[in-house]
A and B are shown apart, each in its own frame.
Chain A
Amino acid sequence: MKLIMDTNALITGCKFSTEGDHLIKSIIKVCHIIIPSTVKGEAIVAKDIYRDAKVVSDLIESGKIQVAQSTIPEMNFLNDYNLGKGEKEAICLYLEKKDNINYLITDDRLTYIVCDRMQISKLFFLDLVIELVKQGKFEHKFAEKVINEVSSRYSRGMISHSFVILKGVLSNGKS
């Protein structure tokens, strides 16, 4: 599965670990991740201060996360939304590569809404975890641990709903 990740989802993946590995590393084992060049720039600047930025920076250096350049067209309506440069680049990158990308992963509500209006295939980080269970790439129990691990970043509704969806996946016999 090929994914474009924006910063907020990337931070979730780098901040938490399950079974001894940062979540982002567990995802990389089963997915190809692409990030916009702005996100790379910020991670490299911050890598000496913040451990999660160092995780991203190391994965970029070792070629496990791909970095791609994208141009935000002048006068594009995206500039009228209150999005950051990296989020707009992630959206433009998806549009440039859409035939070859499965999902844009974001943990930002406004970015998600803009993606929805643009009919971009997008997932929250929690839904990516569930999707990986559906595809048989993550074990159900592992996904439960991941959702528990990251729960401090989300509202109670997002977490309890994720467990309900995950339970549905299990009862449908897909994992």
Chain B
Amino acid sequence: MGSLNLKKPEAGVINLLRVKYLEAQNDEKGLLELAAIGFESRLIELYNLFQRGEISFEHLAEILKINVWEADNLLEVRGLKSTNL
């Protein structure tokens, strides 16, 4: 896999979330919302790299751990193009 300087969460943040995750077993919605915010943020970061031609469309999907059809749909519902031409 090519090298990418994607923002990485601080180790302390991961540890804090791990604790909160264990504490919040009954608050699945809250955790999902938190994960979704992180996902959205990473999606936009990767989309910008994709639009600059620094990563391919499939690579964007792979980093997000979704398949290309899901990636295409996610971009389409946000009014974003899934080509960079």
A interface vs B, CB < 8 Å?
6-8, 11-12, 39, 42-43, 45-46, 49-50, 52-53, 79-87, 107-111, 113, 124, 152-155, 158
Contacts and interface: CB of A to CB of B under 8 A. Distances in A.
Interface of B: 1-4, 49, 53-62, 67-70, 72-73, 81-85
Given A7-B68, A50-B73, A53-B69, A84 B56 contact: yes
Given A86-B58, A155-B85, A11 B68 contact: yes
A82 B50 CA distance: 10
14 contacts: A6-B58, A7-B68, A11-B69, A42-B69, A80-B3, A82-B4, A87-B59, A108-B56, A108-B83, A109-B85, A110-B53, A110-B55, A111-B56, A154-B81
Residue of B2, B53, B83 with highest tally of chain A CB at under 10 A = B83
A87 B58 contact: yes
B22 to A, nearest CB: 31
Given A43-B69, A84-B61, A12 B56 contact: no
A7 B81 contact: no
B69 A81 contact: no
Given A82-B2, A87-B58, 9 more contacts: A8-B82, A39-B68, A46-B67, A82-B49, A82-B59, A83-B56, A84-B62, A108-B83, A154-B83
A110 B53 CA distance: 5
Contact of B85 (A42, A53, A81, A158): A158
Nearest to B60: A84
Contact of A109 (B67, B70, B73, B84): B84
A42 B54 contact: no
Contact of A46 (B58, B70, B82, B84): B70
A106 B26 CA distance: 46
A136 B82 CA distance: 30
Nearest to A90: B58
Contacts of B72: 11, 50, 52
Contacts of B56: 81-84, 87, 108, 110-111
A95 B2 CA distance: 21
B2 A80 contact: yes
